[in-house]
Structure 1
């Protein structure tokens, strides 16, 4: 199942970030800020980029790596987002900014 247009619009409406673009990929949609992917949507599920700086809060919230493709392969660097976070624009934006910062750091961009 692909990402529905309505769900994509909802997620984009929840983000208080500038320069967001989306690109279809892997049967899902990648969200980019300034050309760096920080978010992945797949089957109307949201996942954000994680690393050692933020993984604990995802695990504490009971979240897991997003699973994609027909064989449900987990992508360990993108964890699903709790519904309560997605529904709160301010909190979701904070989590998204952390994921974007991870990409900046990974790419050595200041």
Structure 2
């Protein structure tokens, strides 16, 4: 069995990744408490204890759902995708618009969409868990 091809996108160095994470923290800080954790070769971002974003290969991807994904698509954003032996997988995280990466004010509406998507996902998950216990 052959290994999946490596992405043509190179991953940033550790110093570059730390700089990207710090920049994302600065962009999101006006909206609440930001925690960033290393995970899966990238970073996961929490805003007020909601998991709202990931940083992979130097790109910030924000949480989306059926309610918000069209806004990201219309802004020219792209989904987070990865490959495994089983093929290509797409997650419910989309890149932030380039202009949103410039200032906290430009990021705010996009981060709020991500936060709302994460809140809806958490509520749906809690509902499924309650039904399983019943």
Q: Residues 56-106 of structure 1, C-alpha deviation per residue, up to 9 Å, x if partnerless?
A: 121112222113468894433001112112113212122112211211122
Give distance in 1, aligned partners of 2:84 and 2:43: 16
Displacement of 1:35: 2.4
- Which structure 1 segments of 5+ residues have no match? none
RMSD: 2.4
Pick from 108, 115, 118: which aligns with 1:100?
115
Give distance in 2, aligned partners of 1:58 and 1:87: 17
Pick which of 42-51 and 90-99 moved more: 90-99
* TM-score of the superposed pair, with normalisation by structure 2: 0.70
Give distance in 1, aligned partners of 2:89 and 2:96: 14
Q: Which residue of 1 aligns with 2:17?
A: 4
Runs of 4+ in 1 over 6 A off after TM superposition: 69-72
Displacement of 1:29: 0.2
Contact 1:66 1:75 in 2 (8 A): yes
Secondary structure of residue in 1 paired with 2:31? coil
2:123 is equivalent to residue 82 of structure 1: no
More helix by share: 2
2:73 is equivalent to residue 59 of structure 1: yes
Pick from 53, 61, 65: which aligns with 1:39?
53
How many residue pairs get aligned? The number is: 109
* TM-score of the superposed pair, with normalisation by structure 1: 0.83
> Cα–Cα, structure 1 residues 37 and 84, in superposed 2: closer, same or farther, change >3 Å?
same
Pick which of 98-107 and 62-71 moved more: 62-71
